[in-house]
Structure 1
Amino acid sequence: MVAESIPERRPVLPASSRAVISRIRMPLSALLVSLLAAAAAVVIPVSAQAAAPSATHAAATVSSAPASLPTAEEAAQSGITLVLAPATSAAVGPNQDLPVTATITNSTTSAMTTAQLDLYLAEDALTTRSMLDSWLRPEATSGTPGDLMLSQPLAITLQPGHSTTIDLTVPAASIGLTTANPWGARGIAATLTSADGVRVDARSTFVWSLGESVAPVTLTLVVPITVPAGSAGENGLLSAETLATLTGPLGQLTRKLDATFDRPTTLAIDPMIIASIRILGSSAPASAVNWLERLANSLNDSFALSYADADIALEAQAGAPALLAPISFDQAIDPTLFTGPAVDTEPTEAPAAPGAPVAPSPTPTLSPVVPPTSADLLDWNYSTTGLGWPGAGTVSVNDLNVFADSGIGSVLLSSNNVNRPDSTLTPNAAVLLGRTSGLVSDSAVETALRAAASAVSDDTWRAAMAEASAQLAVVAAEQPATARTLLATFDRSSSSTPLRLGQTIQAVNELTWQKSGTIADARASTPTAGTNFASRSEPDTRTATAQRLLSREAALTAFSSSLNDPLALTGPQRLNVLTLLSASWAPEPVAWESAVAASMTGSADILQSITVTTKGPVNVVSSKVDIPVSLGNSLNQAVSVRVQVVPSNGRLLVGGVIDATIDANSARIVNVPVTAAVGNGEVTLRVALSTPDGTPIGAPAEIAVNVRADWESLGTLLFALLVVLFFGFGIVRNIIRRRRERHTKIADQDDSRPVEESAQATPTEQVTDGSPDTPVAPAPPAPRAPDSEDAGDGSRG
C-alpha cells in the first residue's frame, strides 16, 4: 500500500499528535484509498532512457510487492546493481514532491529488457545514528523494507556492461508524511525486479522538514594541501618541473586550491610546497608563483603540517625524542637566483650639446638581493598554530608526551583513537588528553564526505551526499536546542585530488542544518565527559623501517663532524628523511620500502666515501720505518680524519693517532711510523678512520705486512765484511806492488854501479840475496871534499 502517516509507524511523533491522528484515521484511510486508485492511472515521467509501459502490461510480466529482498551476496552475484539517491540534498516538506534517481548497471552477459522499480519509505524515522547505519547497511533483509510509495514499470533495453539513470518523482501525497511528523532523517528504499526474477535493492535517505529551525551542527572541514608520495627529490624539495605540473591548469595543487579557495574550509598546508617554490627564486615556474600568491590571498583558515606531511606518530614510535624539523636549506639556496629590478650601473651624464654624437646608453643590470634564509623559506601566516595531525588511528599514549614536548597543543585524531561513552548523543570534537587536547573527527560524516568527494559518477556522489546530509540531520535532531561541534577531514594520502571536492564542500555548505566552523570553533567546544584515549600504534613493519631511517640519519650526523661544512650533508639528509616519513606513503607500502631502500643505498655510499686504499702486502726490513697509507675522499668537500693503526701482534709497534685533512675528490698519503719489536713474521695492520671527535668512519681496513727486521743487522754485517775485504785486499795489493817496485829499483841500481866501486867494497859489507828480510850493511861514508882552507894550504897533503 501507499505509505501512510500512521502514528504507530512513526514513533517520533509526540503523544498529542498521535491522539489527533488516531481520531481521523478512518476518514484519512478512505481518502488515501481514493488517492491510490487515482494514482494508478497516472503516468510517472522517466528519463528518455527508460520509457514506462502501461501498468497493465507491467503487472502481467513483473511481480510487485516482493515477499523478501535478496541478500547483499545474492545481489552481487546477480550481476545487476542499483544505486538510489534523492536528486537533491535539500530537505523535503509537506506538499513537496520527492525527486529521486535510480541508476541501474547491467554486468551480466545478456540484455535486460523489462523490469519494475518499487520505492518504499522506511517505517521508522531514523532518530539515532545507529538506526541510520542499520538502515543503510542492514545485516539481513526480509520482507518489504517499508511502505510502498511508488511502483514504476520500466520497459528498457539495457545491454551488458551498460548503465542507465532513471529520474523518478514521488508525489507529495504518496510520501505519506504530514505536518504531524517532526523534522529529521527518513529512509527510502528501492527494489528492482527483472522479468526473469532477478531482484536487487538499494537504500538511501532524505531529510523531512516542516520549516522549523533547529540548532545547526557546527562542522569544521579540514582539507590537506599536500602532494603525492614520492613527488620530492632526494634533497627533500620539489623540482621546478614537478611544481610546473602540480600547479598547471590541471595540476593537483591547482584543483585543490580551486575547490577550497575562500570556501569555509581549513587548509592543512605542507610547508615543503611553500619552501620549494620560494627557494627557486627567479627560476620558479610562473604557475607556481601565481599559485602561492593566490594561496596567500585566500581567506581560508589554515595550519601547518609537519614538513613533507611527515607522520608525527610514526616518528615518535620509531624513537625520535622530539618531532623532526628541517635543519637548514642553506645548501640548496643559489644566490644568483635572487636579484632585484634592473638598474643603471653608470652615472647619469649631462645632455650632449646639439649636433654632438650621442653616447650609447649604459646597459641596465639586475641589482643583487639578499637571498632568503631557512626561516624565510618556511615563514607563513597560519591562522592556527600548535596543531598536529598524525596518521589516522595510529597514535599511542606515549606519543602524546612527544607531541607536547615538541610544542603541539592540540592533536587531530580519528574516532578509533578514543573511546566514547555509550550514549545516543553525539559528542563534540574536543577531548582532553592530559598535557595536550584532542580534536576527534566524526568517522561517519567523514566517511560519507570522502566518498562523495572521490565519487566518479553522479549517482554515487548523490548517494554519498545523502548519507552525509542524513548524518548531520540526525545529530542536529538529537538535541534541537543545543548546537553540536563536529570535525571531518578529507583524505591526505590520496595520490590525486578528489574529483568532486569542491562540489562536495559547496553542497555541505548549502545544508541549512549545519554551519561552517574553524579549528578555533572545534577547540572551543565543550569536551564530552567520559571520553578516554584509546592507544593505538603503527604497524610493526612501518615502525621498523622508520627506525632504520632514523638510525641512518644519526650515523650521517655523526659522520658530518669530519666535514668542513656539516650542514651540506645534514640539511638535505633531514629533508629526505621527512619526505620518506610522509603519511602519504601509508597506503603504498611496497613503493615506500623501495624508496627507503634507495635512500639507504645513497647514504651508505656517503658513509663509505672516505676510504683506505692501501692494500699491501708491505715488507718491513728495518727496525724503524714509515709505512705509507693512502686515504681517498670522494666527497665534494674537504674532510678531516684521524688515522689509528693497530697491529695484530707484537712484532710491530705503531706510533700514535695521526690527524689528516683530505681535499675534495682527492687522495692523500699519510706515513705511519712503525718499529720492529721481536721476531719476524706476518703482521696485519688494522687501519681505523674516525672523525675528529672520535666517531668511527666506515669499517677498518687491513694491510698485510711482512716483518724481516733482522735483515738489517745481517745486511750491515755483510756490508761491513765486504768493505773490510775490499779495502783489505786493496791494501795488501798495494803493499806487494810497492815492495815489488822497490826491489826492482834496487836491482836496477846494482846493475849500473862501476866495477871499481864494487871492488873497493869494505870487508864489513854484506852481500844480500835480494830478499827484503836480508840485512844490508850501511855504506861507508863518502870521501870528504877538500874545503877552501885546505885548498889554500898547499903543504897539507
Structure 2
Amino acid sequence: MVADRNNARRPALPRTRRRLLALLLSAPLVLFPALAVGQSATAAPAPVATAATNTVSMATDDDSVTLSLSPSASSILHINEDLRLSVSVTNDSASPLSSATVEVYLAERALTTRTALNDWLDPDDDRDSGELMLSVPLTAPVQPHSTVSLDVTVPNASLGLFEWSPWGPRGIAATLSTDDTVRAAGQSTFVWYPDTSTTQVPTVTPVNLAVAMPITTPAGSTGIIGSDDLAAYTASSGILTRQLDGVINKPVAIAIDPMIIASIRLLGSAAPPTAVDWLARLDQAENDIFPLGYADADPSLAVQAGASGVPVPLSLNFALDPNLFAATDQVTPPAGQSEATDPATPAPTATPESPTSTVPTLEQLLAWDYTSTTIAWPADNVVAQDDLAAFAAAGLSTTILAAGNVTQSDEDATASTTTALGSDELGLVADAGISTALRTAATATTDDAWRAAMAEVSSQIAVVAAANPAAARTLLATIDRGWPPTAARLAQTIQALNELPWYAPTTLTTATATPVSTSVSFAAQAEPTGTVDLAARLIDRETELNDFSTALADPVAVTAPNRLALLALLAPAWQSDTTAWRTAVGDNLAASHEVLRSITVTTTGPINVVGSKVDIPITLNNALGQAVTVRVQVVPSNGRLVVGNDVEAVLDASSAKTVSIPVTAAVGNGAVTLRVSLFTPSGAAIDQPSLISVNVRADWEGIGSRIFAALVVLFFGFGVWRNIVHRRRDRALAARTEADPHAESGADPAPSASAEPTTEPDDLPTAPRG
C-alpha cells in the first residue's frame, strides 16, 4: 500500500542520504549488540535505539508470531523531537525465535484522507511498508509462549519532517524478519504537529466530537438485577462504578439502562448502600443522559422477530415487597380551625388518617430526568427499513446508527453525523474509525495496546481536522456495550482524548441539531437469520402466554415477569456468547411451557356409561398460585354419545376440581373417545386436548327393566296360581265331605254289623278339617 500521493507529501532528505543516515545511526547496534541488551527497567541507553526484554508467559499455542507497534510516549510528534516507539514481539509457536531483526519504516507520504489512513492501519499483503528508518537485531531468542518488548528511538533527523511539513497523521510500520523472511508485521501512526514552529504554526480547526457511552450490566435472563449483584457491580471496583467513574461530569453522553435504576429502587430499604450511593451520583451528574431500552433490549431484534412494536415493561409489582417501603402517617388538622387562635384555648388534637402507602408504581420506578427520551440505540449494523417506522411509532424519532447502516457518496469526505431517515426521523451516524479506536482503547489491557489505540484515535480525528481547516465537522463516536471485567482504562481514554488539540467536545444535543448530511443515506441491514429465528420463538411464546393469561385472576402476575425476561434476552450483550444465549432462551421457553401446562385434565379413563343419560366426572388441576377460570369442551369421537354444552369452571389456586359433563347415549354400544379441551374465557386454547376412553352400554337399563318386569310378573303369577290351586282343593274337599262326612275328619270306616256299637258323647266337638 502506498499512501496518497498529493501535495501533502512530507519534505524529506534525498532517499540515498536518508538510507545512509539510517545505516550510520544504527551501526552501533550492529557492531555492539550488547549495548542494546537488558531488562526494560535497567536497559543501557543507546544513541539511536534501546532494546529491552520482558518475557510474559502466554496461554495460547497457535504456532504464530505477532508484532505490535505503538508510540511509547505521546502520539503527537513535535518539531525537533525524536520518535519513540515500542515494539512487542510475541512468539506463540512451539520453538524459540532466534536471529530475528526488527525493521522500522515510515510511510513515504502523509495520510491525508480517511481511506489512506484506514488502508495503512489495515493493509493488504502486498502493501508498501514505506522507507526504512532503522534495523534493530534481537540480541536474545524469543522463547516459546513469551513476549519481548523493544523500545526503539527514531532520530528526528532521519524522519525528514520540518517546520513547513504539513501537520497531520503519518504512518509507521515495523517488521520482524528471520533469514530474510518476514515473520510478522505491525502498523501504527503518529501525528506530526509542529506547533512550536517559529515560521509556520499549523492552522487547526478542531473536530466537534460527541461521545455516547452505554452504562449496562452483564447479560442476564430475568430483567431484574438482584441485591447481591447490585452490591458487586457498585462496589469500589465494580463494573457500574468503573463505568460511571470514567464518564461522570465529562463531555460524554450517558445512555443508561433503566433496569439498573428500577432494580435499585425495587429493593427499597433493603437496597445495598453502595447501589443507593451510585444512583445518587448518577443523579448529580452533569452529563447528557438518555435511556436505552429496558434491559438494553435491542429494538431492531424485537421488531424483526415479529413484535408488534418496541416492547416495554408491563409491571414490576410482582417483584415489590411492601414491607420494604415504610408507610407515612398523614395528619389532618381539624376542619374550620382558624389561623389566629386564643393562646388560652387548648389546641384541638389532630386526627391521624390511615397511613399512606409508599409502594412505588412502575412509572415511579422508571422515572428519571432525562435529557432526551426520543433516542433509539439498536445494536450495530442491524437496522432494517421497517424498524424505523416501529421506532417512530414508539416515540423514538432519533436512531443511533453504526457506519454499516449508511452509505456515503464520497468515502474520503467526512460528513457530519446527522442523516435524514424520513419526514420526521433522524439518524445519528457513529464514525466508524473513531468509535472503533475509542472502544479498543477503553478496553485495552496493556499499556502498549492502549497507546496504539490512542494513536489511532488521535490520527482518525486529526485527518478530519486537517482535511477541513476552514469548517469544523461535527461527529459522533460511541463506546461499545458488553463491558469486559478487565476494562479499566475508560477514564484514562477520555482524559487523553481531551488533551488532543484537534478535538473539541460537544454534547449529543448539539450533535443532533447539526445540519443533515446530504451525502449520507440509510442502508437497510438485518439481524442474523439464526438470531431472528430464535428471538421469534420468544415473541410467539409471549403471545401464547398473553392468550393463556386471560384465564387468570391476575394475568399480569404471569405476563409481566415473562416480558422482563424477554427484554433481557434481546440485549446486544448476548452477542459475545451466542452459546450461552441459546441456552438461556431454551431455559426460558421450557419455563414458559410449564406455565402453559399448569392447568390440566387429570382424568384418563376408562369410564363406563350404562345409562342413556349420565354425568361424566372430569377432574381438572390448577398448579398456579392463583385462581383460574376455564371453559371445558368435550367432543366424542363417534355418535354413540351426545355431549351437552360446554361447562365453565373456576379453579382455586393450587387445587383440583371435578366438573360433571352431561352426556346422552345415542345408538348402540361400544367404545368412545372423549376429547376434552380447555379454553380461556376469551376462547384461547389451554395446552393440548386430553383424551378419555369411555365404554358405552346404553341398553343395560332397558334389559334390566324388562328383567325386573318379568320377575314381577312371575312373582305375582305364582301367587295367583297358588291361590287358584288352594281354592280348587278346598272345593274338592268340601264336596267329598258332603258325600262322606267321615271323609272330612278322616275317621275310620263304619264297623261291620257284628261289631259292638261304640257310644260317644253328643257334646264332643267336631274334628278339624284337613
TM-score band by shorter chain is 0.7 to 0.9
- Superposed CA deviations along residues 156-201 of structure 1, whole A, max 9, x for unmatched, are 4544333233333334333321111122111223344568876644
- Greater shift, 467-476 or 492-501, is seen at 492-501
Secondary structure in 1 matching 2:77: coil
Match of 2:539 in 1: 550
Q: Indicate conservation of the 8 Å contact 1:268/1:305, yes or no.
A: yes
Match of 2:335 in 1: none
Change (3 A) 1:681 1:606: same
- Greater shift, 198-207 or 320-329, is seen at 198-207
Match of 1:139 in 2: 124
C-alpha distance in 2, partners of 1:323/1:730?
90
Change (3 A) 1:727 1:82: same
- Superposed CA deviations along residues 618-665 of structure 1, whole A, max 9, x for unmatched, are 111211111111111111111111112222222222211211101111
Matched to 2:364, the amino acid is D
C-alpha distance in 1, partners of 2:597/2:284?
48
Q: Indicate conservation of the 8 Å contact 2:302/2:570, yes or no.
A: yes
Secondary structure in 2 matching 1:537: coil
Residue of 313, 316, 336 corresponding to 2:323? 336
Q: Indicate conservation of the 8 Å contact 1:307/1:326, yes or no.
A: yes
The yes-or-no answer on 1:486 pairing with 2:475 is yes
Match of 2:378 in 1: 390
State the identity as a percent.
46
Change (3 A) 1:517 1:369: same
- Greater shift, 568-577 or 521-530, is seen at 521-530
- Greater shift, 554-563 or 590-599, is seen at 590-599
Match of 1:218 in 2: 208
Q: Indicate conservation of the 8 Å contact 1:106/1:158, yes or no.
A: yes
The yes-or-no answer on 1:564 pairing with 2:553 is yes
The yes-or-no answer on 1:185 pairing with 2:169 is yes
Following superposition of structure 1 onto structure 2, how do residues 340-359 of structure 1 map, counting pairs within 5 Å? none
Q: RMSD of aligned C-alpha atoms?
A: 4.0
The Cα of 1:420 is off from its aligned counterpart by: 0.6
The yes-or-no answer on 1:417 pairing with 2:405 is yes
Question: Which consecutive unaligned segments of at least 5 residues does structure 1 have?
Answer: 1-7, 59-75, 344-365, 759-768, 772-797
The Cα of 1:433 is off from its aligned counterpart by: 0.6
The Cα of 1:95 is off from its aligned counterpart by: 2.3
The yes-or-no answer on 1:241 pairing with 2:224 is no
Match of 2:39 in 1: 49
Match of 2:643 in 1: 654
Following superposition of structure 1 onto structure 2, how do residues 574-613 of structure 1 map, counting pairs within 5 Å? 574-613=563-602
In the alignment of these two chains, the number of paired residues is 706
Secondary structure in 2 matching 1:339: coil
Structure with bigger gyration radius: 1
Match of 1:774 in 2: none
C-alpha distance in 1, partners of 2:237/2:287?
22
Matched to 1:121, the amino acid is L
The yes-or-no answer on 1:166 pairing with 2:154 is no
The Cα of 1:726 is off from its aligned counterpart by: 3.1
Question: Normalised by the size of structure 2, how large is the TM-score?
Answer: 0.83
Q: Indicate conservation of the 8 Å contact 2:48/2:155, yes or no.
A: no
The Cα of 1:564 is off from its aligned counterpart by: 0.7
Match of 2:298 in 1: 311
The Cα of 1:602 is off from its aligned counterpart by: 1.2
Following superposition of structure 1 onto structure 2, how do residues 93-492 of structure 1 map, counting pairs within 5 Å? 93-108=78-93, 116-141=101-126, 145-146=130-131, 148=133, 150-152=134-136, 155-156=139-140, 158-193=142-177, 200-211=184-195, 212-229=202-219, 231-233=220-222, 236-339=223-326, 369-434=357-422, 435-492=424-481
Q: Indicate conservation of the 8 Å contact 2:19/2:132, yes or no.
A: no
C-alpha distance in 2, partners of 1:441/1:732?
114
C-alpha distance in 2, partners of 1:472/1:174?
26
Q: Indicate conservation of the 8 Å contact 2:296/2:571, yes or no.
A: yes
The yes-or-no answer on 1:12 pairing with 2:8 is yes
C-alpha distance in 2, partners of 1:57/1:267?
44
C-alpha distance in 2, partners of 1:605/1:748?
99
Q: Indicate conservation of the 8 Å contact 1:338/1:368, yes or no.
A: no
C-alpha distance in 2, partners of 1:268/1:326?
18
Change (3 A) 1:770 1:140: closer
Q: Indicate conservation of the 8 Å contact 1:618/1:706, yes or no.
A: yes
Change (3 A) 1:57 1:492: closer
C-alpha distance in 2, partners of 1:31/1:418?
44
The yes-or-no answer on 1:622 pairing with 2:618 is no
Residue of 673, 676, 684 corresponding to 2:673? 684
The Cα of 1:99 is off from its aligned counterpart by: 2.5
Matched to 2:190, the amino acid is F
Matched to 1:573, the amino acid is N
The Cα of 1:141 is off from its aligned counterpart by: 4.6
C-alpha distance in 1, partners of 2:94/2:575?
38
C-alpha distance in 2, partners of 1:436/1:57?
56
Matched to 1:404, the amino acid is A
Q: Indicate conservation of the 8 Å contact 1:89/1:465, yes or no.
A: no
Question: Which consecutive unaligned segments of at least 5 residues does structure 2 have?
Answer: 51-60, 196-201, 331-353, 748-758
Change (3 A) 1:678 1:48: same
The Cα of 1:734 is off from its aligned counterpart by: 6.7
The Cα of 1:487 is off from its aligned counterpart by: 1.3
The Cα of 1:396 is off from its aligned counterpart by: 1.0
Q: Indicate conservation of the 8 Å contact 2:49/2:152, yes or no.
A: no
Change (3 A) 1:740 1:638: farther
Q: Indicate conservation of the 8 Å contact 1:117/1:152, yes or no.
A: yes
The Cα of 1:478 is off from its aligned counterpart by: 1.1
Change (3 A) 1:167 1:722: same
Change (3 A) 1:57 1:312: closer
Match of 2:336 in 1: none
Q: Indicate conservation of the 8 Å contact 1:339/1:367, yes or no.
A: no
C-alpha distance in 2, partners of 1:419/1:404?
22
Q: Indicate conservation of the 8 Å contact 1:99/1:170, yes or no.
A: yes
Matched to 1:210, the amino acid is P
Matched to 1:11, the amino acid is N
Matched to 1:514, the amino acid is Y
- Greater shift, 722-731 or 264-273, is seen at 722-731
Residue of 53, 63, 68 corresponding to 1:83? 68
C-alpha distance in 2, partners of 1:107/1:155?
19
C-alpha distance in 1, partners of 2:305/2:394?
15
Matched to 1:92, the amino acid is L
- Greater shift, 156-165 or 216-225, is seen at 156-165
The Cα of 1:565 is off from its aligned counterpart by: 0.7
Question: Normalised by the size of structure 1, how large is the TM-score?
Answer: 0.80
